[in-house]
Structure 1
Amino acid sequence: MATSQHIGEQIELSICQEVITAPHVMEATTGGTISISGSCNMAEAETLAARIRGDIPYED
């Protein structure tokens, strides 16, 4: 799993070759869910979640 090999490092989350966030890995992800923390407001967090879920379409 990518996260277990990169604990303490920053990794990029990309969709359609667009980096949508680049968090630091704090622990290995297991069970198919991730948690991203940071300094953003609720609207920014909801937009990021929608982009990760694929609810917001991307340009090719």
Structure 2
Amino acid sequence: MRRLLREEPSTRIHFTDAITAGSYYNGTRPEGSVLFLHPSHRPLVDELLGRRDGDP
């Protein structure tokens, strides 16, 4: 996840309970890369993207 977000910062991220906490799905679509993660990963993603509480 760290490498992907560093190499492709425009990656769209979707959080879903359909993905288990130990898994992820990374796909490529015509509009770019998309990453599906379990909601438990949100704090790490926010940290990696430099987001603060309340940021979109």
Q: Same fold (TM over 0.5)?
A: no
Higher helix share: 2
**What TM-score results when the alignment is normalised by the length of structure 2?**
0.27
Identify the structure with bigger relative contact order (alpha carbons < 8 Å, sequence gap 6+).
2
